[in-house]
Amino acid sequence: MIYPQAERHFRVQQAVRRNRALSREGLLERVFEQLFHGLVYAQIWEDPEVDLEALALTPQCHVVAIASGGCNVLSYLTADPARITAVDLSRAHVALNRLKLVAASRLPSWEAYHRFFAEADDPANVAAYDRLIAPHLDSASRVYWEGRTIHGLGRRRISIFARNAYRHGVLGRFIGLAHAVARLHGVRPRDLLKAESLADQRRFFEEALSPLFDRPVVRWATDNRLSLYGLGIPPAQYEALAGGRSMGAVLRERVERLACGFSLTDNYFTWQAFGRGYGRGEAPLPPYLRREQFDIVRARVERVEVRLTSITDHLASLPASSRDRYVLLDAQDWMTDLQLNALWQQITRTARPDARVIFRTAAEPSLLPGRLAPDLLAHWRYEEEASLAFTGRDRSAIYGGFHLYVRKD
């Protein structure tokens, strides 16, 4: 199902709202809802290589995934699945996914694709859009990218790819604000990228970054739910992320892992967080942007369908026993018990034998026990040891847990 605008807004409300409108939590939810209507993530913040290992894709697999920024959907193509259906309630994310897919098939070379989506800050990208991409893009995506916005000073949305796209969107602006606050306290987060070893990265964290969390303005911000919306943390996710501790302590640990948990030579999430974009030269990239994968991705883009819908509604439209892999990102952290059970009822109905489901949570434990109906949960085996290992290898570093469930019967 592809929703008209009014219905789409209603579905977003269902995804976000859990409290009365005039309550404190209800007001916060409505602020987040407004942010959700635009571009949130120019880059998805889940590690696709961990996903690929957990999904164990085969040429027979049909994947259903929440789209977000599309980086992982395109990266899954490198593993040769039969089909991928990417769904999202955000028209901005749907337009971004479709832009990336059409660009992969229509831009003349890896160099042009890299300039567009890795560098993402060249006026030539806008010219390439007009000449090579737009004529092959669906009308809804063209309306989005060619629309003009007030905060863009009247420029077309596509112009973000001439102005470092990764500084845009809710997350991009939040990271920019975090950099500004750090600079006000004499710290340049970008200096982390000068490190020549993990020891250098750790030294920079301990001497420059960690003390920032003791500053009054940072303590205030981390305790303020509204200020954390830029991280894509909705009201329902805040308590799960805190886990009974101060949010400042939790975020300090997550930033530590992002800053010095993995080498700069291997972790493009660190480049995004501290450099506000991908690095140049030999800096790491997600699979779909690597030179050696470009021809593979280009040859397989027709296997991807992108739909403006919720994952539960999409699954409800499918025949039984018809899908193999499910990628839920952290969407369940937003859900009520009713929504969670409705989703897993459709997953269980549509899953083939040995189907796999992966998702992330703000807190460390899986959220299914105690919330999912026992008769649904009984169909699935939680791969606890593997999930802990995947959590440890997830370079995005911001989630408490990565979880893998496998269909038993």
Provide the residue range defining the domain that includes 227: 169-275
Does residue 128 fall inside a structural domain?
A: no
Tell me if 164 sits within 8 A of 277, measured CB to CB.
yes
Q: Is 14 exposed, middle or buried (0-12, 13-18, 19+ CB in 10 A)?
A: middle
pLDDT of 27 reads 55
Is residue 155 scored above 90 in pLDDT?
A: yes
**Which residue(s) pair with 306 in the sheet?**
86
Is residue 282 domain-resident?
no
Domain boundary among 241, 275, 309: 275
Task: Report yes or no on 186 lying in a domain.
Answer: yes
Q: What is the mean pLDDT of the chain?
A: 90
Q: Is 288 exposed, middle or buried (0-12, 13-18, 19+ CB in 10 A)?
A: buried
CB–CB of 361/399 below 8 Å? yes
Give domain status of residue 182, yes or no: yes
**What's the whole-model pTM score?**
0.91
Question: Of 243, 275, 307, which residue is a domain's last?
Answer: 275
What are 35-50's pLDDT values in tens digits? 566 898 899 999 999 9
Residue 18 domain flag: yes
What φ, ψ does residue 83 adopt, rounded to 5°? -150, 150
pLDDT tens string 283-301: 999 999 999 999 999 999 9
Where a domain ends, among 227, 260, 275?
275
Q: Where are the alpha helices (DSSP H) in 77-205?
A: 91-106, 110-114, 123-128, 139-146, 169-184, 198-204
Integer angstrom CA distances of residue 408 from 94, 311, 320, 356: 33, 22, 16, 10
Domain contains 201: yes
- Angle formed at CA 281 by CA 276 and CA 284, multiple of 5 degrees: 60
| Interior angle at CA 89, CA 365 and CA 44, nearest 5 | 55
Report the number of distinct structural domains present in the chain. Answer: 2
Report yes or no on 316 lying in a domain: no
Percentage of the chain with pLDDT > 90?
76
Is the residue at 232 inside a domain? yes
Q: Which residue has the higher pLDDT, 20 or 263?
A: 263
pLDDT at 247: 83
